[in-house]
Amino acid sequence: MASSPLVRRLRLAASLRQIRATAGADGGPLKAEELARRSGQNRVVISRLETGDRRPDVGRVMNVLEGLGLEEGSEPYRSLLRIARDAAATGWWDARMFVNMGRRMAQTANLESGAAKIREYHNSLLPGLVQTSAFARHLAEGALRDGAELDVEANLAGRARRQEILDPGGAEYEMILEVQAIQRITAPEPVLVEQLRHLLSLAQKPNIKMRVLPVDARLPKGLLPRAPFSMYDYTDPGDPTVVAVDTVTTDILLTEPADVVSYALMWARLDAAALSQEASVELVKRAADALAGKRSR
């Protein structure tokens, strides 16, 4: 499974910052301005490389590595050059047919690429990886009415392509859903019934685990999530675990170990309080049957 170019970008950025912190003449930090002079690059290039702001130019990375004092052919140099090449790669989300699916979805697709394990907590909506086409279309058209700039067809095509990661041999996927994400009427009833039945079908797959957090769940002491979040783990132990925190307008990406640990502890508390897989499936089935019964009356 190919590595996520975005995750490689974040890994490269962290490595460059770490090396520069001890690359000065006295073993201390090397100023960015001095690194720019040594490498023949401008300060903006250094900043973008160290933040992972965009896809890197491999030639410029080579110049920066030399400016940091790494010898060409050395293991650190070759390792970082491999990471830079991965970071510069394009993915299916860059193809013309998907270019209008939305920058936010493209970033999510990038994070999912190559993920060995994905964990998601959602408090009001079902996550994109488990949405049916009809449910996703309803949400996308609602976003359009709210003024979002969105190509609905490209968005749906991108979501369908993302969902291939749940096929056999794909990522291990765990979701914890607040009960209102199941019971709230977020779409027309026929669409929602189909969506809930689809969720039940997915829960039968060996690589998918679905848990529901009921209102009366007994939660251990500690911080609880204030927003939906996703956690991505990768096969290469050198790649960071990435936490994506869902806000109204964007996803905030966290890779610092202290931040990741906080979310891992939060996930553990949610996992301990949520219903079992079997009880969660039964709850979703009751919700689907209740909606279907309401339609038939």
What is the CATH number for 128? 3.30.870.10
Cα→Cα distances 262→11, 142, 198, 250, Å:
20, 34, 32, 20
Say which residue the tokens 């079997």 belong to: 278
End residue of a domain, out of 61, 87, 113: 87
Whole-angstrom distance, CA of residue 255 vs CA of residue 241: 6
Whole-angstrom distance, CA of residue 134 vs CA of residue 219: 34
For residues 237 and 1, the answer to whether their CB atoms sit within 8 Å is no
Q: Does 32 map to a domain?
A: yes
- Tell me the pLDDT of the chain (297 aa) as tens digits: 578 999 999 999 999 999 999 998 888 999 999 999 999 999 999 999 999 989 999 999 999 999 999 999 999 999 999 999 999 999 999 999 998 898 999 999 999 999 999 999 999 999 999 999 999 999 998 877 776 777 999 999 999 999 999 998 899 999 999 999 999 999 999 999 999 999 999 999 999 999 999 998 888 776 678 899 999 999 999 999 999 999 988 999 999 999 999 999 999 999 999 999 999 999 999 999 999 987 655
72 with 101, same domain: the answer is no
- Tell me what pLDDT residue 243 has: 98
End residue of a domain, out of 23, 57, 87: 87
114 with 233, same domain: the answer is yes
Residue 230: in which H helix or E strand, if any?
A: strand 229-234
For residues 112 and 163, the answer to whether their CB atoms sit within 8 Å is no
98's CB contacts (< 8 A; 6+ apart) are 92, 106, 154, 157, 158, 161
- Tell me what pLDDT residue 1 has: 52
End residue of a domain, out of 40, 58, 87: 87
Task: State residue 27 phi and psi, 5-degree precision.
Answer: 85, 0
- Give the full edge-to-edge strand order of the sheet including 251-254: 208-213, 172-178, 115-122, 229-234, 242-246, 251-254
**Based on the structure, what is the number of domains in the chain?**
2
168 with 239, same domain: the answer is yes
Residue 283 DSSP code: H
Residue 54 belongs to domain spanning? 5-87
66 with 103, same domain: the answer is no
71 with 200, same domain: the answer is no
114 with 223, same domain: the answer is yes
Q: Does 203 map to a domain?
A: yes
Angle subtended at Cα 263 by Cα 260 and Cα 264, rounded to the nearest 5 degrees: 85
155 with 291, same domain: the answer is yes
We report the CATH number of the domain holding residue 28 as 1.10.260.40
70 with 147, same domain: the answer is no
Q: Does 109 map to a domain?
A: yes
Say which residue the tokens 């301005």 belong to: 33
Whole-angstrom distance, CA of residue 102 vs CA of residue 93: 10
176 with 255, same domain: the answer is yes
Residues 225-253 as b/e (b if ≥16 CB within 10 A, e otherwise) read: beebbbbbbbeeeebbbbbbbbeeeebeb
- Tell me what pLDDT residue 293 has: 86
Identity of the amino acid at 106: A
State the angle between helix axes of 75-87 and 5-20 in degrees (0 to 180), rounded to the nearest 10.
140
Say which residue the tokens 């251990």 belong to: 220
Q: Does 209 map to a domain?
A: yes
Q: Does 92 map to a domain?
A: no
Cα→Cα distances 42→19, 24, 33, 36, 223, Å:
18, 18, 8, 5, 43
